[in-house]
Structure 1
Amino acid sequence: MADLKYDPVPHNQKDFLEKASKRRGFCEVYDALETEYALVHEMLSARTRAGLTQEAVADRMGTTKSAVSRLEGAGRHAPSMASLKKYAAAVGCTLKIEFIPQPMKR
């Protein structure tokens, strides 16, 4: 079984967004991927809570580290329900999907 030690790479999202938002077109593209980024954030948070590396998750899913990396890459890959369920189980979670009503526009 893969080593379960997790050593996260330091990243300051606030600083990153502040610098990146100054680039032309960044905000439009970032906003268009809001749902994908929210999904990736949930996935990474679950993996962090579980204390697992991508390799350990891959081992539990019966796939490769590169496949897990693609799952965790916002906007580059649209994961299937089957893959999301396997990922959730691998990090000790249950997958829950919600449709949240939007406020009526006038």
Structure 2
Amino acid sequence: MANLKYRPVVHDHQEFLARASKRKGFAEAYEALELEYELANQMLKARSRAGLTQDAVAERMGTTKSAISRLESAGKKNAPSIATLQRYARAVGCDLQVKLIPQK
């Protein structure tokens, strides 16, 4: 395993939303991708809690850093499979949980 010093990148999702919501068309665009953004936010938090770099997660998953970068970004055309999300969850020391919640 690579001996890399982990330096987390601070990401305040609420601050991001506050700044971005001032841009024209942001609300509609964000709403359309809300679930993807929430998943990406949870993935970043899980990796940070585990104290892992993208390189370390990639090594644990048998893939590349660029693949992890794509996986952790929201709004891309190709959504990850459940199997990929399960592998990512295991790599960062988590269990994956998917729920269908009845609408109100």
Q: TM-score, normalised to structure 2's length? A: 0.89
2:88 is the alignment partner of 1:87: yes
AA matched with 2:38: A
2:37 is the alignment partner of 1:37: yes
Q: Which runs of 5+ in 1 are unaligned?
A: none
Listed one character per residue, the Cα deviations across residues 6-61 of structure 1 (whole Å, up to 9, x for unaligned) are 21123333332222211110111011111111111111111111100000000000
Q: Is the 8 A contact 2:86 2:95 kept in 1?
A: yes
For residues 58 and 52 of structure 1, the distance between their equivalents in structure 2, rounded to whole angstroms, comes to 10
2:72 is the alignment partner of 1:102: no
For residues 49 and 69 of structure 2, the distance between their equivalents in structure 1, rounded to whole angstroms, comes to 17
Q: CA RMSD in A?
A: 1.4
For residues 93 and 10 of structure 2, the distance between their equivalents in structure 1, rounded to whole angstroms, comes to 24
% same residue: 64
Instruction: Point out 4+ residue stretches in structure 1 off by more than 4 angstroms.
Output: none
2:46 is the alignment partner of 1:26: no
Q: Is the 8 A contact 2:13 2:41 kept in 1?
A: no
Q: Which runs of 5+ in 2 are unaligned?
A: none
Q: Is the 8 A contact 1:5 1:52 kept in 2?
A: no
For residues 68 and 22 of structure 1, the distance between their equivalents in structure 2, rounded to whole angstroms, comes to 30
Listed one character per residue, the Cα deviations across residues 80-104 of structure 1 (whole Å, up to 9, x for unaligned) are 112111101101111111111111x
CA, structure 1 residues 53+63, in 2 after alignment: closer, same or farther (shift >3 Å)?
Answer: same
Aligned residue in 1 for 2:14: 14
